[in-house]
Every structure is written in structure tokens, then in C-alpha cells.
Structure 1
Amino acid sequence: MALSLFRKNEIEPPADIEAASLRSDKFRLEREVDWQRLDQIVTALEKGRPKRISDDDLLNLPVLYRKTASSLAVARETSLDASTLDYLEALVRRAWFQIYGPRVGFFGWLKRFFLGGWSGAIRAIWLDICIAFAVMVAGTIVGWLLVARDQEWFYALVPGGMAGGRVPGAPREVLEETLGHQGGADGLGVFAASLFSNNTGVAIMAFALGFAFGIPTLLLLVYNMALLGAMLWVFDDAGLGTEFAAWLSVHGTTELGAIMLAGAAGMHVGRTMAFPGDRSILSAMQSAGVRAAQVMAGCTIMLIVAGLLEGYARQLVDGTGARFAIGGTMLVLWTLYFLAVRSPKEREA
């Protein structure tokens, strides 16, 4: 009896393996035609040859994908052979990418972004841009008037490390030297670096604070521009207002433009949350968030350009007229790009 039990136990494992193999072969034979058909369609798409796919195959692609995904689920549940599982997993992964994956690569996205995506997002938030621009102008005027009335306001608005020796009552010669070609790196260079770092942080904060219905963004823009208005008063009081404006315009038209757009993007999200209209708040925020994200991606590029202008053009170019020319040219280029560059869909419409 012991011998018979031994022989029985010795025979059963091969029988189980044979049964499992038969189930796997039957499972494959019943569905393999659909798998092969899907594989051929996906291979043609991967090779960039969609014309080789018949209309029937293209219409049946989603159905074939769902059938294959269902086969994969069954294969996992029934523990079919490893080769079948590996094949189905790879096929389903490839098919998913062709059906649901991104349609363009990074360079395609970049091309679409510059040829209408960014500028279209800018035009879509024009009202918020107008509000941000008005607030920034008002902030500059407020800073100017506060310091003109009481010079102690300058020290409240401008951090000591940023101002350096450029304070109310400083001799004209000292201020003029900081604007010169030779004194740029050692004079206003510290102020410019601090201003760029400050403005980059302001751009990020202006966008982030927009989610609080845009109110903190407005306050931040007012304060940041009041700082600039206070500094402008110091130079104007010494008879160097035009020279300082020219020095600042080299990178300022780009840098301050980025702050304005970042603030507008933040306010756009906050305004959409407060006034979603007929849509739900979630739906309204989704569309607003996409536009705001595109605007902020462009602001990053503008801040990089501003940094290059500040680090090179502002240091290498001397003369009020030449500096105004650079700043004015950048302002015109940005304005023309935002107004004129439209995506193919916009041109067709």
C-alpha cells in the first residue's frame, strides 16, 4: 500500500502540469487571433505607418485593446504560463500608450507652446493682466509719494542690504557713479542682483497667493512696486530719474513684465474660484489652472531672459539712449509676440 501511495503521488504532479498546459494552450488558441491583430496594428502605429492599417482595424482598435486587457486579467487570475503573461502585459502596455498616451513629445510640446500656446493663454487672461498692471502702477506712485512726503518711509520700504548707499540725501556724484559703466558691477550690481532675486520670489508668491481669491497677490504687487517707486524717487531727487529708469529698463521691462503676468495668473485662478459662473468651482478651476500653468511656464522663460540681460547687456551697454533702446526693444518684442502669435486653431477660427 505504501508503494501504491508513492506511485500515486509520483504521477499526480505531471498530470497537474499537463492539465495546466492544456488550459493555457486552449486559452491562447481561443484568443490568439485578436492578440495578433492588435499586435499588428500597434506595431504599425509604433513605426509611424498608420496608412497600412485598414479602416476596420482602426475602428476596432479600442475593442481589441479591451479584449486583450480582459485576457490579461483572466491570465493573472488563473495563473497561466509565464510566457503568455509576459506577452500580454507587453502588448497591453504598448496598446495603451498608442491609444491613451501623449500625442506629442517634448519638442512637439515646446513648439506648440511657443507657436500659440503661451500667447493664447496670455490673451485669455487679459482682464487680470489689466488689473495687475493698474495695481503695479498704483504701487509705484504710492511708494514715490510716501518717500516724497516723509523720507523715513524709504527705510520702511527698501531693505538695507538692497539699498546700500543709495538712500535719500546721497550725493549726486555717488548715485551717478553707480549708474556708470564701470561702477555697474560694484555699484548697482548688488542692488540689481537683490532686485532680481526679490522679483523672482515675488513672481512665484504672486502666483501662489492668487488661490486666496487674489487679494494677497494684489497687496504683494503694491508693496513690491512701492519699493521700486521709493528708489526711483531717490534718483529723481538727485536729478538722475531718467538715467535710473534707463538703467532699469534694460532688464526691467522683461522682469517686471514677468511679475505682472505671474500676478495676473494667480488672480485669474482666484477670480475664477470666487466667480465660477455657470460651471462648478472644480470645473472652472481646472480650465483656469491650465491657462495659469502655461502663463507661469512662460514667466520662467522671461525671468531667465531678464537675468541674462541684467548680467550682460546692462553691464556692457553704457548711455541712457542705448539702455532705453534695449529695454524698449524687449518691451515691443514681448508685446508683439503676445498679441500677434496665434495657434493654428485660432487662425482657422
Structure 2
Amino acid sequence: MSPITTMIIISSLATGTIITSTSYHWLMAWIGLELNTLSILPIISKQHHPRATEAATKYFLTQSAASALILFSSTVSAWKSGTWDITQMTNPTSNILLTSALAMKLGLAPMHFWLPEVLQGSTMKTALIISTWQKLAPMALMTITANNLSPTILIYMGTLSTMIGGWGGLNQTQTRKIMAYSSIAHLGWMATISTIMTNMMLMNLMLYITMTTSMFFMLILSKSKTIQDTTMSWTSSPTITIMTMLTLLSLGGLPPLTGFLPKWLILEELTLQSLTTMATMMAMSSLLSLFFYLRIAYTTTLTTAPATTTTTHKWRFKPTLPTTLLSSTLPFTLWLLPMTPLILL
């Protein structure tokens, strides 16, 4: 792909998200989502590989169906209320349709089946974009329409997502699929709190994007596509090996790392709202996620795979990718918990 084509596609990707995030008319929001979807398709399928083509097709079909549902729900709302304003969606049918469409866009359970397959068929960099940037536009719509969405459906979907995100990742050996199930679990936490406290959902989203970016960059630098590959990451860089372990523990939500902050606050808020059963189920399901994070942390840092003399000196080579983004996101991934009082204020 030529640099000009790449620049146009990346610009369109960013523009689509910005249009959706800043629009108050349903048609403009839909146009932004469509632009976003059409921009990511060439990025997924540019590998000219059957798996990449399959991933692009699955992504296109799922996102098209979700966009059609959003357009249908907004049309029903405009028909009933006479306005295309996003914040004025008062029809219950439209609200349920919109909730389902946004869940499909994000990959919430039970409409999560496309996410692990699409990520597995993409490159690591594309998987990073799908896991982070592509969540911004639907999350912006969820934030704007939080008062109109169905709280019951979102809470049940969120709880189910955390459970499936934990269960699904247990059986995986591919790091991209593990990160996909990790994404499903994290989005479950965000969906559960979205209609109760929107600012907490946005904080969780920012921390999730930061932690996932750090994790993907370390997987890219160490060229770890499977759990077996992570056993050789110590030959790339001892520092990255340690930071990978800490990032995995942060994703799992262990104190005193950053990942503990959103889980702690969300569980506290759910308990205050008398949703103790949901809070307990989500806390228990996060242990499932923690198990497969710990499994990767164990293979990365606590096992030394048999290696030849040539591979033991691999860490002497300079990294082929710039590490600026990794070094800027890592401190936020690991040491943001002491800033909790400032965030709460």
C-alpha cells in the first residue's frame, strides 16, 4: 500500500470517529460510523491472505448490520417524535434497537463472536486499531444517549461479557484471541456502569485503551503471536519482559497497578446501587481473566525456554519499531493508582 493511500485511509478512519463523536443528528452519526467501517476494511485485508480476507468480510457484515440497526432505530425515533436529535430518542423500541446495535458494534456478549476471529485474521497493528480506536465512536454514541439506553439490557450484557471474556480466553493459545477476549471482558465492565455513571465509563475506556496499547506494542516488539512465542521474549529485551508481566497484572486488575482503579470504583458504585449480585458475578469472572493473564506472565518471565547460542544474543539488536508510544503509555498503565483522589475530584 502506497504512503498516500495509507494516509488517506488513516485520515478517513480518524475523520469518521470525529464526525460520530461530535454530531447531534442521527444521519451524521451514521455517516461517521460508515466512514469508519469502510476505512478499516482495506487495512484488515491488505495482507492478501485468506484469513485476512475472511476477517475483513466478517467485520464488514457485522458492522453493516449494526449500522443498519442504528439507522432503523433512529428512523423509528424520528417517525414517532418528529426529530433527528440524538439526545431526544424517547421511543422504547428505538432505545432497545440502539442498545443492541451499539453492543454489536462494540462486541459485547452475546454478539461478540466476530471480535476474536477478526483480530486473529488481522496483523498485530490492525488488531490494536480494532481493539482501541474502533471502540471510540460507539462509546461516544453510548455516552451521548446514556439517559435513553436500556439500563437492564446493558447491565445483563455487561455481566455476560465479563463472564464470556473470562471463559473464552481460558482455552486460547493465540495472543490476539486472548486480547480479544480481554477486550470483551473490559467492555463488559464499561457497559455495566454506562447508564449509572457515564464519567466512570469514560475513565475506564481511557485506561483500557492505554493498557491495551501498551500490551499490543510489547507483543509487536517481541514478535509474540502465541503463548509459546512469549517464552522467548527475554531474548529481545529483559526490560520488555518485566514490563509485559506488570502490564498483564494491570490488565487483570491487581493493586497497586492502574487496572485496579476502574474495577474498584465500578464494584463500589454497583454495590451502592444495590446491584450486589451483579458486582459479585463480575468480580468472580475477573478471576477467570486474571488466570490467563497470569499464564502469559508465567511463560514470559518465570520460564526459560531452551535456546541456541545465537538466539540468546537477540536482545543486543536494536528494535525495528519506534518505542515512543510504548514509553509514553507504560507509566499510565502501571502507576496511575495514586492519582485516584484527583480523578475522583
TM-score (structure 2 length as normaliser):
0.32
Q: Of the two, which has the highest radius of gyration?
A: 1
**Which has the bigger relative contact order, CA under 8 A and spacing at least 6?**
1
Structure with the bigger percentage of helix: 1
TM-score (structure 1 length as normaliser):
0.31
